Amino acid sequence: MFKKKFFFKLGLEIIAIIIGISASFWISEISVKRDKEIQRERVLNSILIESEDIKKYCDERIKIWNQDIDIYNLLLNNKLSIEKLKKVAISKNRVEYNLIYYRDFDPPMNRYKSTINTGDLKFIQSENIKEVLTRLHNLNFTKVVSTVDYEKKIIELIIDLITKENPSLFLKGNDPKINFDSYLKTLHKFIQENEKLKSNLIVQLKYFKTRISSLKLYMLTLEELQYNLKNILKVN
């Protein structure tokens, strides 16, 4: 009788221990899952916030890049329209900038890069989100940047050509005595009379248009990313 009670009590204690250990593991597992979920939401929210910053950057870029196209079209037109040019380019510096400088494409990507570098990408369970992120920040981004690289080469040719064949053009651009209208007339005349310069500007204009097309594709992918993120996070 004593042995039966002893073994019964021992059995209960063992069961209690097993239940306690199981409960501990279960609670621990729940805690780990909860922590992972918190980390997942943190990473996804961070990427969503940055996507809004990228959109603002791209909206500004596309506005400026369209203005670049307008300026080139007006300068390449056989008939100069000073009034139309002055609506797009408010100063000599703005026109000259288009001729000798290129515009970088450098959207905010610090949060995404941090996610990659810290290994936090592992918290994103959606393979679709990962695929869109890769497409956005690698494939589409590279396409836009490549057009900028082509522009750099054309700009080098344009600067070299103007410096050799009409260096006074740069001087007039910096001379406060030369008004905007006179500068535009001089520049337009030089473009129309110099086939090398005109052909380089036409090629550059094509790159500008390709750049816009690449940026629009980039922005479509960005919209896709935002839609998927908001859908997962249940935000408007």
Tell whether the model's pLDDT for residue 1 goes beyond 70.
no
**Can you tell me the mean pLDDT for 90-113?**
89
pLDDT score of 151: 87
Angle between helices 141-165 and 195-233 (to 10 degrees): 160
Domain that holds residue 114: 48-233
**Mean pLDDT in the chain?**
85
Q: How confident is the model at residue 76 (pLDDT cuts 50, 70, 90)?
A: very high
Q: Give a yes or no: residue 30 inside a domain.
A: no
Instruction: Evaluate whether residue 39 is within a structural domain.
Output: no
When pLDDT is cut at 50, 70 and 90, the band that residue 14 belongs to is low
Q: Is 174 a domain residue?
A: yes
Q: Residue 144 — pLDDT band, cuts 50, 70, 90?
A: very high
Q: Which of 9-23, 66-80, 176-190 bottoms out in mean pLDDT, i.e. has the lowest? A: 9-23
Helix, strand or coil, per DSSP, at residue 158: helix
Task: Specify if 31 maps to a domain.
Answer: no
Tokens 């002055």 label which residue? 86
> How does pLDDT run across 45-63, given as a tens digit for each residue?
999 999 999 999 999 999 9
235: pLDDT confidence band, cut at 50, 70 and 90? low
Q: What's the pLDDT score for residue 175?
A: 84
185 falls within a domain: yes
DSSP state of 234: T
162, two tokens: 């103007």
Q: Which long-range contacts (CB under 8 A, 24 or more apart) does 79-83 make?
A: 80/184, 80/185, 80/188, 82/181, 82/184, 82/185
Please state the domain count of the chain: 1
| 159 occurs within a structural domain | yes
Whether residue 75 lies inside any domain: the answer is: yes
Query: Both tokens of residue 126?
Result: 């959606």
> Is 38 part of a structural domain of the chain?
no
Number of neighbours of residue 212 by Cβ within 10 angstroms: 18
Yes or no: say if 158 and 197 are a contact pair by the CB < 8 Å rule. yes
Describe the chain by its helix, strand, coil percentages, rounded to 5: 85, 0, 15
pTM for the whole structure? 0.81
